[in-house]
């Protein structure tokens, strides 16, 4: 007999879908089938069952081979590394739960680490812009029930957040959006004709990197002022048509992604997008929301913010929290070669950082806590595999609209494997002994 | 003389890349999903290359071998797209301009045919570029 577990949370993207159904074996040890999730979420659940999975910590040897070690040895190496380092970096946190993040922050305080999450290469510039001018936002429930004007700016949810459109933004029939897709107008701004753009009522194929100009041009069009013939490759008439469409809605939302956060104008793009939202509120109700990537990157920002006062790029090396992106941010610390130990958890900087930053990770003592084999584990000195959060252990996570949702455990981890929180707790306790902290 | 073309490079998520990272970054599927550059049909003509040819993509910051495939999300002449991952990150602009964020999008690159050069697996590529000894 098998058991079906309902209302399971998907630990892949910031949409944090909460309607999955997972079929497990009677003894709760095998995960057999996954229903309702997207293809990426399904793969995440099923990969936890891979027969070739690494289930014990491994040390990288001089000759390039790996030697299996015990969790106790892994705890000792990690604690010693953090205790000895002058400026360690603890990076990641976005693919683990808030409880583990909180223990990690205790370790960071004791070891006077720099700590950062994956916003560093994702929505970090958004957070800078939010500190500049604020963020008029809402929940995804409000979007589902009210929004009739949807903008996807520099994001491609058809690929990156596969169920976002069916659960919240385009297709669902909400309280005031009873006709579903028919009740909404979709505007997509992207230099490619993405699979999201193909569904749009209006696609503005902006010249790559010219988002700031187009955002400002829309603000000008809202005020019915003069515009040049084309801005950022978009004809003025089309900009005015878009502005009229946005103004005529009852409730609108701008979702934005890496197209604006990672191109050259960075946080200034987001400043302009938030200013456009403010201007639109003179005509109708409008909100704006970043399309957060990892399922708990939002939670990591929350935990950092309530414990240290800043949502990312925190430097504790002086014994108190400092925040100065460009100075205390991970990529800059690594490319300047300032870090003398690297502790990675719940992310893969090896695959997603510029190679010049990854080279420095490979050059210093390093620990990578990750259930998968990744480029980061490949260049780290110690790899600590752990239970999959959201599959083999539960815990608190935050959706992209800052709504906290508890993930659920659906299956037992392989025998003897620790969770992120259990491993971090052991490291913290050993580090306290080494540092003589009560 | 080898023919090459100049493109503006961006990187980003694709659903195939998402499935591959959850399925195992050590597997060849990750290379199939992310060790590619999506190019416009007109750029293939300019380069004089067949679709699915191995190419060398070079920027000011590095060089990498990937497979050139025709974009499914075009047309976007003059724009190259490498899905996020080690192949893109071997050549993107690491400068953050005091924001903490590297410039992943909008990197000038040149593309030339490198038919006989191998495309490395994800972990293998990073280990090689970092000089990490492997078995």
CB atoms within 10 A of CB B51: 11
User: Does the pLDDT of residue B102 top 70, yes or no?
Assistant: yes
Question: What percent of chain A is predicted at pLDDT more than 90?
Answer: 98
CB-nearest to A263 from B22, B106, B129 is B106
Bridge pairing between strands A202-204 and A185-189: parallel
CA–CA separation, A354 and B61 (whole Å)? 9
Instruction: For residue B66, give how far its alpha carbon lies from the nearest alpha carbon of chain A (Å).
Output: 15
Q: Does the beta carbon of A301 lie under 8 angstroms from any beta carbon of chain B?
A: no
Q: Which of residues 136-165 of A touch B (CB under 8 A)?
A: 156, 158-160, 162
Q: How confident is the model at residue B2 (pLDDT cuts 50, 70, 90)?
A: low
Nearest alpha-carbon partner for A301 in A398, A201, A403? A398
Name the pTM for this structure: 0.96
Q: How confident is the model at residue A437 (pLDDT cuts 50, 70, 90)?
A: confident
User: Does the pLDDT of residue A168 top 70, yes or no?
Assistant: yes
Q: Does the beta carbon of B6 lie under 8 angstroms from any beta carbon of chain A?
A: no
Contact criterion met (CB below 8 Å) for A381 and A59: yes
User: Does the pLDDT of residue A78 top 80, yes or no?
Assistant: yes
- CB contact (8 A) between residue B24 and residue A128: no
- CB contact (8 A) between residue B12 and residue A259: yes
Residue-level pLDDT at B135: 77
User: Does the pLDDT of residue A267 top 60, yes or no?
Assistant: yes
Mean pLDDT for A223-230 is: 97
Per the listing, tokens 């909404």 go with A184
Task: Name the phi and psi angles at A52, rounded to 5.
Answer: -95, 20
User: Does the pLDDT of residue A23 top 90, yes or no?
Assistant: yes
Q: How confident is the model at residue B133 (pLDDT cuts 50, 70, 90)?
A: confident
Nearest alpha-carbon partner for A329 in A318, A313, A305? A313
Question: What percent of chain A is predicted at pLDDT more than 70?
Answer: 100
What ipTM is given for this predicted complex? 0.96
User: Does the pLDDT of residue B126 top 80, yes or no?
Assistant: yes
Q: Give me chain A's average pLDDT, please.
A: 96
Contact criterion met (CB below 8 Å) for A222 and A283: yes
Q: Distance of CA A39 to CAs A94, A166, A408, B15, Å? A: 20, 14, 19, 8
Bridge pairing between strands A382-384 and A366-369: parallel
User: Does the pLDDT of residue A263 top 60, yes or no?
Assistant: yes
What DSSP string describes A134-197?
Answer: ------HHHHHHH--EEEEES--HHHHSTTHIIIIISS---SS-TTGGGG-EEEEE-SS--TTG
The number of C-alpha atoms within 13 Å of A276 and in the hemisphere containing its C-beta is: 31
- In total, the C-beta contacts within 8 angstroms joining chain A to chain B are 204
Mean pLDDT for B19-25 is: 95
SS3 (DSSP) at A18: coil
Instruction: For residue A309, give how far its alpha carbon lies from the nearest alpha carbon of chain B (Å).
Output: 18
Contact criterion met (CB below 8 Å) for B128 and B88: no
Instruction: For residue A163, give how far its alpha carbon lies from the nearest alpha carbon of chain B (Å).
Output: 12
Interface test with A, best of B27, B62, B98, B100 (most A CBs within 10 A): B100
> Residue A396 is encoded by which pair of tokens?
């608190």
CA–CA separation, A45 and A36 (whole Å)? 12
Mean pLDDT for B111-125 is: 96
User: Does the pLDDT of residue B21 top 70, yes or no?
Assistant: yes
CB-nearest to A162 from B15, B71, B74 is B15
Mean pLDDT for A15-29 is: 94
CA–CA separation, B132 and B7 (whole Å)? 31
User: Does the pLDDT of residue A21 top 80, yes or no?
Assistant: yes
CA–CA separation, A229 and A375 (whole Å)? 47
Mean pLDDT for A160-186 is: 95
CB-nearest to B130 from A293, A329, A362 is A362
User: Does the pLDDT of residue B1 top 70, yes or no?
Assistant: no
Residues A102-135: pLDDT tens digits? Answer: 999 999 999 999 999 999 999 999 999 999 999 9
Mean pLDDT for B76-97 is: 97
Residues A328-372: pLDDT tens digits? Answer: 999 999 999 999 999 999 999 999 999 999 999 999 999 999 999
Query: What pairs with residue B24 in β-bridges?
Result: none
């Amino acid at each position: 007999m098998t058991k079906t577990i309902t209302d399971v949370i998907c630990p892949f993207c910031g949409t944090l879908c909460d309607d999955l159904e997972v079929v497990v074996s009677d003894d709760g040890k095998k995960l057999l089938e996954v229903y309702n999730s997207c293809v990426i979420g399904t793969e995440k659940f099923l990969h936890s069952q891979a027969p070739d999975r690494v289930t014990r910590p491994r040390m990288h040897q001089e000759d390039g081979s790996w030697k299996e070690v015990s969790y106790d040895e892994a705890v000792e190496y990690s604690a010693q590394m953090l205790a000895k380092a002058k400026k360690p970096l603890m990076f990641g946190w976005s693919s683990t739960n808030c409880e583990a993040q909180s223990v990690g922050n205790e370790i960071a305080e004791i070891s006077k680490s720099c700590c950062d999450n994956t916003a560093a290469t994702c929505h970090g510039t958004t957070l800078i812009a939010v500190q500049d001018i604020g963020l008029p936002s809402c929940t995804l429930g409000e979007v589902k029930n009210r929004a009739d004007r949807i903008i996807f700016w520099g994001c491609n949810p058809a690929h990156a957040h596969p169920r976002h459109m069916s659960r919240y933004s385009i297709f669902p029939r909400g309280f005031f959006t009873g006709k579903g897709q028919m009740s909404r107008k979709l505007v997509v701004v992207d230099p490619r004709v993405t699979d999201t753009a193909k569904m749009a009522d209006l696609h503005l194929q902006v010249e790559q990197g010219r988002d700031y100009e187009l955002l400002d041009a829309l603000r000008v069009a809202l005020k019915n002022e003069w515009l040049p013939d084309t801005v950022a490759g978009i004809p003025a008439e089309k900009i005015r048509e878009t502005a009229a469409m946005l103004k005529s809605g009852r409730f609108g939302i701008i979702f934005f992604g890496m197209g604006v956060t990672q191109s050259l104008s960075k946080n200034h793009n987001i400043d302009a997008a938030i200013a456009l939202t403010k201007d639109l509120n003179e005509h109708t109700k409008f909100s704006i929301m970043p399309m957060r990537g990892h399922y708990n990157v939002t939670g990591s920002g929350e935990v950092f913010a309530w414990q240290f006062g800043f949502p990312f790029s925190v430097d504790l090396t002086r014994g108190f929290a400092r925040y100065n992106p460009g100075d205390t941010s991970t990529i800059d610390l690594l490319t300047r070669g300032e870090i003398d130990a690297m502790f990675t958890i719940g992310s893969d900087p090896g695959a997603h950082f510029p190679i010049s930053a990854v080279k420095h990770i490979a050059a210093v003592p390093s620990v990578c806590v990750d259930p998968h084999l990744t480029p980061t584990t490949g260049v780290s000195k110690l790899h600590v595999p752990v239970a999959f959060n959201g599959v083999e252990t539960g815990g608190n996570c935050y959706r992209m609209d800052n709504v906290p949702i508890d993930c659920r455990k659906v299956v037992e981890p392989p025998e003897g494997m620790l969770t992120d929180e259990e491993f971090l707790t052991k490291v913290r306790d050993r580090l306290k002994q080494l540092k003589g902290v009560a | 003389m080898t023919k090459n073309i100049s493109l503006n490079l961006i990187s980003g998520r694709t659903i195939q890349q998402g499935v591959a990272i959850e399925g195992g970054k050590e597997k060849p599927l990750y290379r199939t999903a992310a060790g590619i550059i999506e190019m416009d049909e007109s750029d293939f003509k300019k380069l004089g290359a067949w679709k699915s040819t191995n190419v060398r993509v070079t920027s000011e910051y590095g060089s990498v071998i990937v497979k050139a495939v025709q974009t499914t999300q075009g047309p976007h002449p003059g724009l190259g797209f490498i899905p996020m991952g080690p192949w893109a990150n071997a050549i993107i602009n690491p400068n953050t301009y005091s924001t903490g964020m590297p410039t992943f999008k909008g990197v000038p690159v040149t593309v030339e045919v490198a038919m006989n050069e191998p495309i490395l697996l994800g972990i293998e590529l990073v280990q090689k570029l970092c000089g990490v000894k492997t078995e």
